[in-house]
Every structure is written in C-alpha cells, then in structure tokens.
C-alpha cells in the first residue's frame, strides 16, 4: 500500500468516525432539547390547571357559604319582575298549540357583604330566579289568530330555577369583589396548594421534587415552601386569583431544583448505550489504526532489513580480511605469536558472524523468556577489554582509537560473559559505524553508591530527540538519507536493551546531532 492510498484510507476512516460521533452528539442534544420543551409545556399546563383549580374551588366555597346564609334567613325575599318572555307556536301536523312563558324575577335576601368578609364593602347579595311554564292545547279550541285565555290547557309544565349563565356571571362579579381584599393566607394554605400541585404534576408524569411560592408585586408572601428559591432557568410562573378586570396582584411560582436531572433521566438509558457503543467504536478504531500504522512501519522496516541484512556481516568479515592480509605479510607469517593472534581473531569474528545470524532468534527468545542466561561474578573491566579486542582491528584500520578511563574502584558484577560482551561490542560497533571520520571512542567507569556506571562516548554523527527515544526499539534505524550509508537492521541495540534488563541494569543515551553520542550502562555491584 502506497503512502497516498494509506493516508486516504486513514482520512476516510477518521472522517467516518468523526461523523458518527457528531451524529450521536446531535441526537443527544436534540433529544435533550425536545425533552426540555416537553417538560416546559407540561409544567405550564400544570400551573394553568392549578390556577384555574384555585379559582374554581374558591368560587364553589363562596357559593356554598352563600347558600347556607340564604337558607338561614327564613324570610320571604323581596321580588321584582325584571322581564317576562312570551312565546306562541302552532303545529299544523299535530294540531297542537304551545304557549311558553318565562318570568325572570329578582330576589333580594338582604345579605350584606360583611357576612363573608369583615373588611368587604357593603354589597347586597341577591338571587335571580326563572319561572318557566309550558301550556299545550290540542284540537281546534285555539284560533290561529286569537288565543282564548280562559280555556284550560290540555297539558301544563312548570319549572323554576336559576338562570345559569346570568346567575354565574353575577356571582362571579360579587365573589371577586368580595375576596379581592382578603389576605392570601385566608384564600389558600400551603398544604392545600402543595397537594393540588402534586396531583396535577403526577397526572402529567412530572415526578420530580418541586418548590413553590406565591408572590405579590414581586414580594414573597406567607404561602411558600420552605426551600423555595427563585431560579430563572428552572422556575415557572402564572397569575392567580384574578379580579373582574383580569388583573392579579398574585403570581404562583413553581421551581424544580432537579429539573436537568429529571429531563436527562428520560434519555439516560439510550444515551448511555449510545455513548458506550461510540466509545467501543473509538477504541476499536484507535486500536485498528495503531495496528495498521505499526504494520506499515514493520513492512517498511522489513524491506529495509532485507536490503541491509547482508551488510550486517561487514564488520566481522572486514576484521577477518584484515587478519588474513596481515598473516600474508612476510614479516608476520614467520612470527608465530602474531599469526596465532590473528588466527584467534578470525575464529572470534567467525563466532560473531554466527551470533549476528542468530540475533533475530535471540530477540524472539528473549521476548518469550525462552533464553536461559546463566550469570556469575566477573570483573567488568575485563569484559570491556575483551570487547575492545573484538573491534580493535577495525578501529585501527580506520585510523581511530579507543581510550579507556577506569575510574571505578569496585568493578565486580553478576553477568553472563558471552551476552554482556556482545552488549559492549554492539555499542562499540554502533559508535564506529556512526563515526563519519576516524572513530574516537572513550570508555569511562565510575562508582555511584552500590552501582557502577559504564559510559561509552563517541564523536560521531549523533542523534535527534526522536531517535534517542526509539533507538532501543526492535528494527528501528535512523535513516541518513542513503539507505546503505550505514549498514544494519536495527536489532543490535534492541538486543542490548533486553540483555541489560535481564541483568537488572539500566541503559541510557545522550546525544546531540553532529556532536556524538554517549551510552551509559548502570549495573548493580556485588562487592
């Protein structure tokens, strides 16, 4: 997969994921807005019903009190005929004549308004009565043009009662005038108002704690709950106890302290599932994307590894070639000691080539904890000198030098000689490879408390900050522009890190581009 196609795929996947998240958030926000609006409508309907209920209950109470007073007087009221309605109708099919009369009479009981309220104005309370009579005449006894008033009707129906609409209107006017001056606490109680509110809220499914209060011209009255506090976002109001001009000096306020919790609770279940699934998608996507990027990096690294694997043998082969050339020298070939020295080098470097071939297997075994590394007490200075001998000919051939500064007094550590030697050789080999000029390497040792520090400092090309963080990763190599400029497959320092960790040690790197690098190994002492 080329870079352009890979980037397009990542972009489309990211865009899809962002789209899913945006849609989910939009749905949640829309649902929340709808629920808030529904809550508002329900509450407004509730307080409207409560206001109407308060007026109706007060009115009914007034009528009941009025009827009790009227019945208790025991005197015939004064009557005054206000209006008499006369209606005549002849049915030709049935030969019936119907005469309807309705007499409207005003009855004054002389009840003063002070009976209802000591502070009320003097208002005489009366009643309006309707006396209705229907007379039906059969046959031809009634002439079409003249009604014989002396003739007895065949059927007479009499009814008496109040004129509903007029009566109610009159009572409402009287009622509102009389109660307008009453203190609010005489018109409604806290317990009663709370019960009415609760019943209405339950009808509409608004089952959440509420507080209430009745205010007069912006000032609190005695009719209020203990914890009522006005909050613009969660308080709803409506005028109550309006007068005959539809004006009111009282306003009922109802607040809901847990409004947001109640509104959100209705979508909490589906929202939680939505967020959970979205989170799973995000985590899955992140994991898949991470794996995709890693696989791409590994693919690139493996390509680099294939191109550079053969060059990893360059150091031991170069050492062997130099040793063979030295042996061919007539001055050397007769020197048995030097010949044996070079032969030993060839043997050692042959071992190193074999070790390089098995580096991949060693890393794999280390990761699986399958590599058995036995350790024994050894002098670290001796191991350093052995490692220097492995790379000595290469350094000499490049006209470089390795300087040793053994400043540590305590040098005994628990280690595996073979693997620890490989660690130092790999670091030295790395310093040689990344030295464009003649390699100048300094090795320092020093004691810090119960540890020994081994510092290998070169004057090579150095590394940037990113390379310093990743230099111990398997297969990682810092590119120098030319893929074959520096040979290797990025396993050496990964192997170093694994071995140092297995020895309970630590390894650090400090580097600056163009000024070289310093590898520091910290190992625990046993002496």
Segment (H or E) for 446: strand 440-448
Residue 495 in contact with residue 384, Cβ under 8 Å? no
Q: Is 462 left (phi over 0), alpha (psi -120 to 50) or beta?
A: left
CB atoms within 10 A of CB 297: 13
The answer to whether the beta carbons of residues 217 and 181 sit under 8 Å apart is no
Q: What domains sit in the chain, N to C, each tagged with a CATH number?
A: 3-59+183-265 (no CATH), 75-179 (no CATH), 358-524 (3.30.565.10)
Token pair belonging to 128: 């309006």
Each of the 527 residues of the chain gets a pLDDT tens digit; together they read 567 777 788 788 888 888 888 888 888 888 888 888 888 898 889 888 888 888 888 777 777 766 666 666 555 555 555 456 566 667 677 777 767 676 656 555 555 555 445 554 544 555 556 666 777 777 654 554 444 445 677 767 666 665 555 555 655 665 666 666 677 887 788 888 889 889 988 888 888 899 999 988 888 888 888 888 888 888 999 888 877 677 778 888 999 988 888 888 877 788 888 888 888 888 888 888 888 777 777 776 666 555 555 555 776 788 888 888 888 888 888 888 888 888 888 888 787 677 667 665 655 565 555 555 788 999 999 999 999 998 888 898 889 999 999 999 999 999 988 889 988 988 998 899 888 889 999 999 999 999 999 999 999 988 888 888 888 876 666 655 443 344 444 567 877 888 898 899 999 999 988 889 999 999 999 87
17 three-state secondary structure: helix
CA 232 – CA 489 distance, rounded (Å): 69
**Burial, 503: exposed, middle or buried (Cβ in 10 Å; 0-12, 13-18, 19+)?**
buried
Placement of tokens 């209950």 in the chain: 57
CA distance 478 to 208: 65
Q: Which helix (H) or strand (E) holds 273?
A: helix 268-308
Q: Are strands 451-458 and 250-255 parallel, antiparallel or unpaired?
A: unpaired
Structure-token pair, residue 203: 């009808």
Count the Cβ atoms, other than its own, within 10 Å of residue 129.
Answer: 18
Question: Distance between CA atoms of 455 and 522, rounded to whole angstroms?
Answer: 9
Strand ranges inside 117-256, DSSP E:
125-138, 155-162, 211-216, 219-224, 235-240, 250-255
How far is it, in rounded angstroms, from Cα 239 to Cα 245? 13
């Amino acid at each position: 997969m080329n870079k352009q196609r890979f980037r397009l795929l990542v972009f489309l996947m990211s865009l899809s994921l962002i789209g899913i998240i945006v849609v989910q958030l939009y749905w949640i926000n829309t649902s929340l807005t709808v629920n808030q609006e529904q809550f508002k409508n329900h509450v407004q309907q509730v307080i409207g019903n409560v206001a109407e209920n308060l007026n109706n209950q007060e009115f009914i109470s007034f009528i009941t009190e009025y009827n009790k007073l009227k019945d208790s007087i025991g005197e015939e009221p004064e009557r005054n005929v206000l209006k008499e309605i006369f209606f005549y109708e002849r049915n030709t099919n049935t030969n019936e004549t119907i005469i309807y009369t309705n007499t409207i009479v005003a009855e004054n009981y002389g009840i003063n308004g002070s009976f209802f309220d000591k502070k009320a104005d003097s208002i005489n309370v009366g009643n309006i009565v309707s006396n209705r009579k229907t007379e039906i005449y059969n046959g031809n006894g009634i002439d079409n043009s003249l009604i014989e008033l002396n003739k007895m009707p065949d059927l007479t129906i009499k009814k008496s009662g109040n004129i509903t609409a007029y009566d109610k209107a009159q009572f409402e006017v009287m009622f509102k005038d009389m109660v307008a001056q009453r203190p609010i606490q005489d018109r409604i109680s806290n317990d009663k108002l709370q019960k009415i509110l609760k019943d209405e809220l339950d009808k509409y499914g608004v089952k959440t704690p509420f507080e209430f209060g009745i205010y007069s011209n912006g000032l609190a009255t005695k009719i209020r709950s203990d914890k009522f506090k006005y909050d613009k976002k969660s308080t709803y109001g409506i005028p109550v106890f309006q007068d005959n001009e539809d004006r009111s000096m009282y306003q009922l306020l109802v607040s809901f302290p847990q409004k947001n919790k109640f509104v959100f609770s209705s979508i909490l279940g589906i929202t939680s599932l939505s967020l959970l699934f979205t989170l799973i998608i995000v985590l899955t996507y992140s994991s898949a994307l991470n794996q995709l990027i890693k696989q791409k990096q590994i693919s690139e690294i493996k390509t680099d590894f294939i191109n550079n694997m053969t060059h990893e043998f360059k150091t031991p082969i170069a050492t062997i070639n130099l040793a063979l050339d030295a042996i061919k020298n007539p001055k050397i070939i007769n020197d048995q000691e030097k010949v044996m020295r070079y032969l030993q080098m060839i043997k050692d470097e042959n071992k190193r080539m074999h070790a390089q071939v098995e580096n991949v297997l060693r890393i794999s075994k280390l990761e699986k904890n399958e590599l058995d590394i036995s350790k024994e007490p050894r002098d670290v200075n001796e191991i350093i000198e052995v490692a220097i001998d492995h790379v000595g000919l290469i350094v000499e051939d490049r006209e470089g030098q390795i300087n040793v500064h053994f400043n540590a007094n305590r040098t005994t550590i628990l280690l595996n000689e073979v693997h620890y030697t490989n660690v130092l050789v790999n670091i030295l080999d790395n310093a040689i490879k990344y030295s464009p000029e003649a390699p100048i390497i300094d090795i320092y040792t020093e004691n810090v408390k119960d540890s020994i520090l081994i510092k290998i400092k070169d004057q090579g090309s150095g590394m940037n900050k990113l390379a310093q963080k990743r230099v111990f990763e398997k297969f990682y190599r810092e590119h120098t522009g030319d893929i074959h400029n520096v040979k290797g497959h990025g396993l050496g320092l990964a192997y170093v890190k694994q071995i140092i960790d297995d020895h309970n040690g630590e390894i650090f790197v400090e580097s600056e581009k163009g000024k070289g690098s310093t590898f520091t190994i910290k190992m625990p002492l046993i002496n």
